[in-house]
A and B are shown apart, each in its own frame.
Chain A
Amino acid sequence: MHRAVLVIAAACLGASAALAADDPKQRQDLTAVIALQGKPCGEVVSYTVQGDNDFVATCKDGNVYHVHVKDGRVVVEKK
């Protein structure tokens, strides 16, 4: 019975994480950040959250960028 509860809890956590990683505002924010850094992207179509202010963004043109904050600066690195 405990295993069943754990499975359901894990499923709900996974579902909420998927929701958090599909926020249109966050996608737009990442798109703007990548554009501000002068990197080719077009538009961020999806992203995953790696941590606090730490994302991996996938662009419409296929480019993938690691966007994170380091020492108060936003860093955009091509992966």
Chain B
Amino acid sequence: MTPLLRVVIAVGALLPAACALDSAPPARAPMATRPVEPAAPASVAQAPAPGTPPAAKAPPPPQASAVPAKPNPPAPAAAAPAKPRPPASAATAPAKPQAPAPLASAPAPLDLQSLEKRLKDTSAIGVLTKLSLKNQVDDLIGRFRAYHQGARPPTLTDLRPAFDLLLMKVLSLLQDHDPGLARDINASRDAIWAVLTDPRKLAQFA
């Protein structure tokens, strides 16, 4: 053991500590911003923690889904009567309300496959999270298949809260880092539900 060798070994031992000191600040700096974001998904996902309580949590999600679902159809309906009033003629009134209806329903059809691709490609969700979400989606689709095959423990009343909860998990994960995709998925909520509840559409999509 020459003195030179001892010095080299000492430097080698100190190197990791020095590297750790260098790396620590950048790692903690992002943490200061990160902690706020994970808190949201954590609180959302802690709701299903009990496992079975999705049924107990059912009321909030359906309300959330019912609100966006209902406002869309009523919106054109509410706008329609407003326009026919000015003409005040019985012959032209029914013709005009029908025109805005298709305009309002035009943005509704969404390409679910493109949404699926965007969800796979988004960097807002980590790989493990995506896999975990896929597991939960597959589980839910399995429950829908069982429903379509006649099994009745899962009724549509049981499946709707589970669907809403899973969608809410996805939205809570996306809303901060990919709000556009979150918005589009939320807008296609009814389209996704329609696919799941229709055995033919479900078979085609899967």
Contact = CB atoms under 8 A, between A and B. Distances in A.
Interface in A8-47: 8, 10-12, 14-15, 18-19, 22-44
B15 A43 contact: no
Given A28-B126, A38-B51, A42-B42, 4 more contacts: A18-B19, A36-B129, A37-B45, A40-B46
Given A29-B127, A32-B129, A74-B132, A4 B41 contact: no
B38 A31 contact: yes
Contact of A8 (B11, B19, B39, B41): B11
A49 B24 CA distance: 18
6 closest residue pairs by CB, A with B: A29-B126, A35-B45, A15-B19, A38-B49, A7-B12, A31-B38
A41 B20 contact: no
Contacts of A22: 23-24, 27
Interface residues of A, number: 41
B30 interface: yes
Contacts of A18: 16, 19-20, 23
Contacts of A69: 128, 131
A27 B27 CA distance: 11
A30 B131 CA distance: 12
B203 interface: no
